[in-house]
């Protein structure tokens, strides 16, 4: 932790402010998956209807990420982060008062806008505040906050459902979601907007015509000087999200229905996945500042593809699956923990937020094709084979795209030192 003693108080406050925001974001996001059985029983809705709520939340999150990127380029990083935190806290709280399925569907879609926007705004803020030689470590630590938030959501769910009847417990959980709004008070007092010169550095410089106006900012990420970054970054986001969503969507079904394994429903399995995800973020945080963003992404993509295929193709028992869930969670965390630093270092100040928002959220939207392909291919071949092929294609796309990453010409922050991509 010598690096932590080197960074300034401003860097530390920004690090932990973004960490808290992402952890609280994760709590709000994970609570819905935990209360799905209760909603089905209480309101008598179908599983497909519950799945639609999850889907519109993800789509809203992707759109929110894109909008927050543009907003951060227009009004500043801290203000954009404040707006997104207040937004997702407010609509999470309002979910507690939904009287029917239709109301909850709309409220979750609106919540998703803030949920997706918080990562984009916080990622750009932290990248511009943190010095380059420690930027990867800081980004990886913030990404690990998702695992801590996930674990906290499980604990909250356990406590609330132990003392409150189910028909009210889910409302209590959503009402607790207003707590992150208090983080805005800290953001307003403890975190400062990076100076303009910090945002003006990094990557090729766009002219004033490309930096003025919202539409110009959107068009700016396709300007010839950064077009390669946008294409390559978008493909990395697509492959990373595609592999992740294919695995999380179909692996439990495959192991339960075709392998007839029961450990998936145990707390032990969930604990291993959460802990391994957190460790994977820390490993990626340390590694990417040593070997560079490019090779870190390639390593974790290859490791993820291999691990998924071991799951899908090898004879496996409950015990073996429990042990393999550790490297699966660990390697799957490595790419998301790298994307924050990687995407930020590809763009200049004028379009950095927009570029980061696009690369990350373009992948989230289009990656829906990968889970669909697994199901479609599973009609004509074993589901495990389809999953292995699909994950191999998705993570292979990450590897190929990473090989075409350009090297940054200058740095994001004025305190930065040369950083390998």
CATH number for position 133: 1.20.1250.20
Residue 117 lies in a domain: yes
Instruction: Identify the pLDDT of residue 412.
Output: 56
pLDDT at 201 over 60: no
Query: pLDDT digit string (tens) for 137-161?
Result: 888 898 898 889 888 888 888 889 8
pLDDT attached to residue 1: 67
Same structural domain, 224 and 186: no
The pTM for the full model equals: 0.78
**What's residue 185's pLDDT?**
66
Q: What is the pLDDT of residues 22-72, one digit of tens each?
A: 888 788 777 887 788 888 888 888 777 877 887 788 788 888 888 888 888
* Res 262: pLDDT: 64
| pLDDT higher than 60, residue 245 | yes
Is there a single domain that holds both residue 190 and residue 139?
yes
pLDDT of residue 206: 44
Banded model confidence at residue 171, pLDDT cuts 50, 70, 90: very high
pLDDT for the residue numbered 122: 85
> So what's the pLDDT on residue 214?
53
- In this structure, is residue 276 part of a structural domain? yes
Whether the pLDDT of residue 219 is over 80: the answer is: no
pLDDT at position 203: 40
| Residue that terminates a domain, selected from 194, 227, 260 | 194
- pLDDT at residue 210, as a whole number: 42
**Domain termination residue (choose one: 194, 228, 262):** 194
Residues 325 and 246 in one domain: yes
Query: Does 14 share its domain with 68?
Result: yes
Please indicate, yes or no, whether residues 186 and 224 belong to a single structural domain of this protein: no
Domain termination residue (choose one: 147, 162, 194)? 194
List b or e across 210-243, with b for residues whose CB sees 16 or more CB atoms inside 10 angstroms.
bbeeeebbbebbebeebeebbebbbbbbbbbbbb
* pLDDT value at residue 217: 60
- Residue 133 and residue 6 share a domain: yes
pLDDT of residue 97: 93
Q: Identify the band that residue 402 occupies on the pLDDT scale cut at 50, 70 and 90.
A: very high
Per-residue confidence at 205, pLDDT binned at 50, 70, 90?
A: very low
pLDDT band for 188, please (50, 70, 90 cuts): low
Give the count of domains, the chain.
2
The reply to whether 178 and 90 lie within a common domain is yes
Whether residue 345 sits in one domain with residue 234: yes
Give a yes or no: residue 210 inside a domain.
no
Q: Which domain holds residue 135?
A: 1-194
Distance CA 201, CA 391 (A): 37
**Does 97 fall in a domain?**
yes
Residue 34 lies inside a defined structural domain of this protein: yes
Question: Under a CB-based contact definition with an 8 Å cutoff, are residues 142 and 126 in contact?
Answer: yes
Residue 53 shares a structural domain with residue 90: yes
Across 58-72, 73-87, 228-242, 402-416, the highest mean pLDDT is recorded for 228-242
Say if 353 falls within a structural domain. Answer: yes
Return the residue matching tokens 């998703």: 112
Where does the pLDDT of residue 266 fall: very low under 50, low under 70, confident under 90, or very high at 90 and above? low
Question: Is residue 213 one of the residues assigned to a domain?
Answer: no
Biggest alpha carbon–alpha carbon distance for the chain? 61
In a shared domain, residues 36 and 77: yes
249 and 171 share one domain: no
Q: Which of 119-133, 251-265, 374-388 has the highest mean pLDDT?
A: 119-133
- 260's torsion region: left (phi>0), alpha (psi -120 to 50) or beta? left
CA distances from 209 to 11, 69, 206 (A): 32, 19, 8
> Looking at the domain assignment, is residue 206 inside a domain?
no
Residue 232 and residue 358 share a domain: yes
| Range with the poorest average pLDDT among 68-72, 84-88, 264-268 | 264-268
């Amino acid at each position: 932790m010598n690096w932590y003693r080197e960074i300034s108080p401003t860097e530390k406050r920004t690090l932990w402010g973004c960490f808290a925001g992402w952890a609280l974001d994760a709590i709000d996001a994970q609570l819905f998956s935990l209360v799905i059985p209760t909603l089905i029983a209480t309101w008598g809705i179908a599983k497909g209807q519950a799945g639609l709520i999850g889907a519109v939340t993800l789509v809203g999150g992707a759109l929110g990420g894109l909008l927050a990127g543009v907003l951060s380029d227009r009004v500043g990083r801290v203000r954009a982060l404040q707006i997104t935190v207040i937004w997702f806290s407010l609509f999470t709280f309002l979910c507690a008062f939904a009287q029917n399925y239709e109301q909850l569907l709309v409220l979750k879609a609106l919540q998703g806008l803030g949920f997706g926007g918080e990562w984009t705004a916080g990622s750009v803020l932290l990248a511009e505040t943190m010095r380059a030689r420690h930027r990867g470590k800081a980004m990886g630590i913030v990404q690990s906050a998702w695992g801590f938030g996930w674990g906290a959501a499980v604990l909250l769910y356990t406590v609330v459902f132990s003392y409150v009847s189910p028909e009210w417990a889910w409302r209590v959980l959503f009402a607790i979601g207003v707590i992150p709004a208090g983080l805005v008070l800290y953001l307003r007092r403890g975190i400062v907007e990076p100076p303009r010169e910090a945002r003006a550095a990094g990557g090729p410089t766009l002219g004033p015509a490309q930096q003025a106006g919202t539409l110009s900012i959107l068009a700016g990420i396709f300007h010839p000087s950064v077009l390669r970054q946008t294409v390559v970054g978008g493909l990395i986001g697509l492959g990373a999200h595609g592999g992740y969503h294919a695995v999380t969507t179909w692996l439990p079904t495959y192991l339960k229905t075709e392998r007839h394994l029961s450990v998936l429903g145990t707390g032990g399995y969930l604990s291993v996945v959460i802990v391994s995800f957190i460790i994977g973020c820390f490993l990626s945080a340390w590694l990417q500042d040593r070997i560079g963003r490019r090779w870190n992404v390639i390593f974790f993509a290859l490791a993820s593809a291999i691990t998924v295929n071991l799951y899908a193709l090898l004879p496996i028992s409950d015990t073996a699956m429990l042990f393999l869930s550790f490297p699966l969670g660990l390697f799957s965390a490595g790419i998301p923990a790298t994307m924050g630093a990687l995407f930020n270092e590809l763009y200049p100040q004028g379009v950095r937020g927009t570029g980061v928002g696009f690369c990350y959220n373009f992948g989230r939207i289009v990656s829906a094709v990968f889970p669909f392909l697994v199901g479609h291919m599973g009609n004509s071949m074993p589901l495990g084979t389809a999953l292995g092929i699909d994950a191999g294609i998705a993570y292979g796309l990450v590897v190929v795209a990473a090989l075409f990453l350009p090297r940054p010409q200058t740095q994001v922050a004025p305190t930065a030192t040369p950083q390998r991509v």
